[in-house]
Amino acid sequence: MSRFLKSFFSLLIVFSFVQCKKEAKSIEVIIPVNEVKYAKGFSIINYEGFSIVKVSNPWPEANKIYTYILKEKNGIVPDSLKNNLTINVPIKNIVVTSTTHIPSLEMLGEENSLIGFPNLKYISSQKVRALIDAKKIKELGTNQSLNTEVLIDLQPEVIIGYGLDNSNPTLDNLEKNGLKVLLNGDWNEQTPLGKAEWIKFFGALYGKQELANKIFTKIEKDYLKTLEIAKKATSNPTILAGDMFEDKWYLPQGTSWGCQLLKEAKGNYLWAETTGTGSLSLSFETVLEKAKEAELWITSGQFSTLKEMTDANPHYAQFSAFKNKNVYSFSGRKGKTGGILYYELAPNRPDIVLKDIVKILHPELLTGYKPFFFEKLK
């Protein structure tokens, strides 16, 4: 081999080595600001100049992992990752599609970045309602049929969507039109703290991972503190949930988010042995047979008084919980246009929900505390 060729190959090897070193340096993991502890549906890994967010469970039995690259200013993303959707962070504006996304924006101090939402009337947050009144947030129609023309005109930096299954034609259409859609699976989490931890997903988008982590740590701490208080309970009250809609009684399945809270609050939910995270659909007679003597009743939130209940169905009066006026509802706190705050805020604040339920089931353990979401119907 000639001296020239030897020199050429030596330089090539050195050059390749240097490039590999540069590549390795560019994807060097730094100490993560966010550690996802409870949520099963997403992960965040921080690197120098960018982060990788993976959403693995946006709906039940999802069979694909969605990878998003959050690129900081002047950050260098390796070529091996450039086929994934890349978002420049921190973002300045956003469109979200579920009211459960609103509290994360508000807790992070980023509610002003919201520029569009479907079905504005369902939003309860006072701060966000003020923005709506000021015409700063656009109405986008419905979740199943988002107004593509308005969204294209808005050009949001990111749209946070969710799906109930693998068929999401509306979101697919938005992506075809060049808009950036990130899937959020907070609703599909199986645990109360897992749902609340999705604030870290939003924290990463706004470059506020440390703040998101601090907020969640406080929620976690308060939740676990109440959990310890509940362990002191000396009784285990029986609980009926839900009520009739049309000709069926809908009540939560035994491994749902709400039922876990009832269990951790030391309550005996009468359908706790069932499995699933959705709703059971039963006949009135089936529910009456099992729950006629239940000590407490937590309704679905469609009634504001006991009279409203018996006006809708006189047979509700057959239950002991009704006779003893031990019926509770979470529908008392509403937004200006009728949205129920519980549906919006409760998944993000399981610490408050758990404390409310412990107070209802075991009032002696939390003297002086007034439930935030729940109230006894009169």
Q: Nearest-CA neighbor of 138 among 149, 127, 123, 154?
A: 154
Cα(199)–Cα(283) distance, integer angstroms:
38
Is the per-residue pLDDT at 163 higher than 90?
no
pLDDT of the residue at 29 = 59
Amino acid at 302: Q
pLDDT of the residue at 156 = 97
Mean pLDDT confidence for 146-163: 94
In the chain, the percentage of residues whose pLDDT exceeds 70 is: 91
Specify whether the CB–CB gap between 329 and 307 falls below 8 A.
no
pLDDT band at 145 (very low <50, low <70, confident <90, very high): confident
Same fold, 42-220 and 231-376: yes
Query: In the numeric block, which tokens belong to residue 225?
Result: 């503190």
Mean pLDDT computed over every residue of the chain:
90
42-220: CATH architecture: 3-Layer(aba) Sandwich (3.40)
Query: In the numeric block, which tokens belong to residue 294?
Result: 């239940």
pLDDT of the residue at 49 = 95
Give the domain ranges of the chain.
Answer: 42-220, 231-376
* Owner of token pair 């470059």: 207
Q: How many CB atoms lie within 10 A of CB 164?
A: 13
* Owner of token pair 């060049």: 178
CA 365 to chain centre: 29
pLDDT of the residue at 207 = 96
Cα(296)–Cα(36) distance, integer angstroms:
35
Q: Is 29 helix (H, G, I), strand (E, B) or coil?
A: strand
Cα(56)–Cα(43) distance, integer angstroms:
8
Query: In the numeric block, which tokens belong to residue 241?
Result: 């949930």
Mean pLDDT confidence for 111-134: 97
4 compared with 130, residue with greater pLDDT:
130
What is the secondary structure of 158-214 as a DSSP string?
A: -EEE--SSS--HHHHHHHHTT--EEE--GGG-SSHHHHHTTHHHHHHHTT-HHHHHH
Task: Specify burial of residue 196 (Cβ count, 10 A radius: 0-12, 13-18, 19+).
Answer: buried
Q: Helix 350-361 and helix 257-264: axis angle, to 10°?
A: 50
Fold of 231-376: Rossmann fold (3.40.50)
Cα(48)–Cα(28) distance, integer angstroms:
6
Does the model's pTM come out above 0.95? no
- CA-angle at 43, arms to 39 and 44, nearest 5°: 130
pLDDT tens-digit readout, 327-377: 999 988 988 998 899 999 999 999 999 999 999 999 999 999 999 999 999
pLDDT of the residue at 378 = 94
Bridge partners (DSSP) of residue 53 are 44, 68
pLDDT of the residue at 340 = 92
Cα(220)–Cα(362) distance, integer angstroms:
21
* Owner of token pair 């609340």: 196
pLDDT of the residue at 3 = 44
Phi, psi of 67 (to 5 degrees): -110, 130
pLDDT tens-digit readout, 5-48: 444 334 334 444 344 444 444 456 565 566 899 999 999 999 99
Cα(66)–Cα(70) distance, integer angstroms:
13
Is the per-residue pLDDT at 62 higher than 80?
yes
In the chain, the percentage of residues whose pLDDT exceeds 90 is: 78
pLDDT tens-digit readout, 74-119: 999 999 999 999 999 999 999 999 999 999 999 999 999 999 999 9
Bridge partners (DSSP) of residue 334 are 340
Mean pLDDT confidence for 64-68: 95
pLDDT tens-digit readout, 204-225: 999 999 999 999 999 999 999 9
pLDDT tens-digit readout, 307-326: 999 999 999 999 999 999 99
pLDDT of the residue at 143 = 78
Note the helical H segments in the chain: 3-26, 102-107, 126-133, 148-154, 169-176, 192-196, 199-205, 209-230, 257-264, 284-291, 306-312, 320-323, 341-345, 350-361
Q: Nearest-CA neighbor of 178 among 213, 151, 200?
A: 151
